[in-house]
Structure 1
Amino acid sequence: MPQNRQILLDNRPEGEAVASNFKLVSTDTPALKDGEVLVRHHYLSLDPYMRGRMNDSKSYAASQPLGEVMIGGTVGEVVESKNPKFAVGDQVVGMGGWQEYSVVDGNAPGMLRKVDTTHVPLSHYLGAVGMPGVTAWYGLVKIIAPKEGNTLVVSAATGAVGSAFAALAKARGCRVVGIAGGPEKCKYAVDELHFDACIDYRQHPDVKTMSKALKDACPNGIDGYFENVGGYILDSVLLRTNAFARIALCGMIAGYDGAPLPLQNPALILVNRLMIQGFIVSEHMEVWPEALKELGTLVGTGKLKPRETVAQGIESAPEAFLGLLKGKNFGKQLVKLS
């Protein structure tokens, strides 16, 4: 059995996460038992939610245990199997974590899923046609539930979730405005992701200037908002919402270091009769087949062209993850493992 390099959570962050919170180790891969498969990971997914799991605090999911392999989605191929459902060479997606190999119980529901790479590249099953894409689909379809002609806004617009959100919303006849960091990302959002407009938050670093930019980009107000960030951007959006606007609350990356994120004008929730709903996409597995079918079609037909930032080697995962939290990635952040 091969040697397996792994990244463990060695200690918990105090404030901002740092590279020394992680530890690289090598270990022997255990022999397979009946029903198990050995997966060699080709790509590892890095996602903002992982930062929250590093804390030892109350959240929607259990904290990442110290001394264990960091949680994370993976895609790869089966290299050994003692399960009739999986053959050597099968391309699969799962939650293998920050490591080069994983031993998986092939009979456990939802642990491992075979994928077709004929029209969709393997790496996209960690982004546009994976958890981030389904996250965008659920927030749009089940919470915002837009009508044709509505104006929708999404923060972190050029990331894996935001780019999928744009394609899904445009397919429903909506006007879509993104918020992203830097002129290059905003240009990509408009030129390649087909956003109607994109606001550079670095040019609008406070509520006053961001609210003005939103007013200019959304002259008819905001009917739906997909939130990934929180902080002053959420305050700015609330000032521009129409009556009965709907907000899908997926992430609050501005608060992942533990700082509180107070709202400046919570009365707007009442004034505009807003519906704000937080959600965790893994709690809605019943929608995944429908969502993945639409997302796969968008990618396969070229209507969604996801961009990826790829770090090389398992040892690069911590720094790539810290860069993700600071917005250094362009599109989906991955680590190539083989």
Structure 2
Amino acid sequence: MTTNRFWRLDSRPEGDDFASALSLVSEDLAPLADGEIRVKGEYLSMDAGTRMWMNSREDGYQPPLPLGSKMAGQALGRISESRDDRFPEGSLIRVFGQWADYSTVRPDDAWAVLVDDSIDDPRQHFGVLGLNGWTALYGVKDILGIKEGETLVVSAAAGATGSLACQIGRNLGAKVIGIAGGPEKCRHVVENLGADSCIDYKNENVAEALSRIEGGINAYFENVGGAILDAVLQNMALHGRIAVCGMIANYADEHGALGPRNYDQVLMRRLKIEGFLLPDVPERGPEYYETLLNWYKEGRIDVPFDITTGLENTLEAYSRMMTGKNTGKVLVELKS
């Protein structure tokens, strides 16, 4: 009998205190039911959106996880057992599974995707070629409709999705301005991601820095919310566009956050604001993958990985991501 370790959601976390809300427990794996597959994880993806699943709010894009559930998240690994002929044993696969050594899922419910085993770095299936890359491309190209010569501002620009949005904007001919926390991250955004400049929100007045953009902000890729969004709203160009990818400043709030103070600028500047989720357009996946793969092979897009080793250290990795201590994509590498 194989033993499986997994993180269980025992209570709703308060702020960033995840250790009091989740516990690492073990179970004996049950036999697979018809239609199920089992994935032996190699990497787990730490994603900010999962913070909403830990809350009790019913108005999110997904219902809250019931207490006592296995904590859900993306897993990359190999199929160890299969009761679905479409997914043969030994295949490399990405799924919405669990924070666990083994994820047991029904493929159609878990957005299971067999991925290219020959890629030079399989972790890119969580990076450039994964949902962060697809989301960034969807937001910059399709939601914002960025045009050559326009000014694109990206918040959380050193994070997983933000760093890819910066590079995609650059590849599409935009002038890219990142917003990140600290001089080291801002250096990374300019020197490695190719942004034209970066605003250090920890040491600069963001609104004042944005006010110096000639002609205002044409397009804004939103990952943060809160005070950063307020600073952007008062510096948007007439008929500017905002793509809302994430609102990490609000995710821990059980009751929702108050709206932006400068919301009247939506009217004054005739702005368009659109929230978007990649699961709304699953049919676009192959197209996004090919575009990103070509750029990756040409050396025009990449993402650094922030790696924590061991399932037992998952909460450390998650906290790094939620508190902005990471640069790039946060992963947990599972020991074989």
Question: In which range does the TM-score fall when normalised by the shorter chain?
Answer: over 0.9
Which structure shows the higher helix fraction? Answer: 1
Q: Does 1:333 align with 2:330?
A: yes
Q: 1:215 aligns to what?
A: 211
For residues 59-79 of structure 1, the C-alpha deviation after alignment (integer angstroms, 9 at most, x for no partner) is 121001111111101100122
Q: 1:186 aligns to what?
A: 186
Alpha-carbon distance change, 18 to 34 in structure 1, aligned in 2, over 3 angstroms:
closer
Q: Does 1:251 align with 2:252?
A: no
Aligned-residue CA RMSD in angstroms? 1.7
TM score, norm. by length of structure 2: 0.94
What is the DSSP-based 3-state SS (H/G/I as helix, E as strand, rest coil) of the residue aligned with 1:72? strand
For residues 190-245 of structure 1, the C-alpha deviation after alignment (integer angstroms, 9 at most, x for no partner) is 111111111111112xxxx21121233x3231100010101111111111111110
Q: Does 1:90 align with 2:91?
A: yes
Superposition misfits of 4+ residues, deviation over 6 angstroms: none
Task: Check the 8 A contact 2:38/2:79 in 1, yes or no.
Answer: yes
Task: Check the 8 A contact 1:192/1:305 in 2, yes or no.
Answer: no
**Shift in Å, 1:331:** 0.6
**Shift in Å, 1:160:** 1.2
Task: Check the 8 A contact 1:154/1:226 in 2, yes or no.
Answer: yes
Q: 1:170 aligns to what?
A: 170
Task: Check the 8 A contact 1:128/1:160 in 2, yes or no.
Answer: no
C-alpha distance in 2, partners of 1:77/1:174?
A: 39
**Shift in Å, 1:16:** 4.1
Greater mean deviation of Cα atoms: 181-190 or 284-293: 284-293
5 Å-filtered alignment, 1:125-140, equals 125-140=125-140
Alpha-carbon distance change, 302 to 265 in structure 1, aligned in 2, over 3 angstroms:
same
Q: 1:148 aligns to what?
A: 148
What is the DSSP-based 3-state SS (H/G/I as helix, E as strand, rest coil) of the residue aligned with 1:142? helix
Structure 2: any 5+ residue segments left out of the alignment? none
Q: Does 1:275 align with 2:272?
A: yes
Q: 1:112 aligns to what?
A: 112
Task: Check the 8 A contact 2:182/2:202 in 1, yes or no.
Answer: yes
C-alpha distance in 1, partners of 2:25/2:178?
A: 40
Q: 2:220 aligns to what?
A: 225
Q: 2:263 aligns to what?
A: 266
**Shift in Å, 1:128:** 2.1
**Shift in Å, 1:38:** 2.2
Q: 2:286 aligns to what?
A: 289
Task: Check the 8 A contact 2:238/2:269 in 1, yes or no.
Answer: yes
Task: Check the 8 A contact 2:38/2:102 in 1, yes or no.
Answer: yes
Q: 1:78 aligns to what?
A: 79
Task: Check the 8 A contact 2:96/2:110 in 1, yes or no.
Answer: no
What percent identity do the matched residue pairs reach? 41
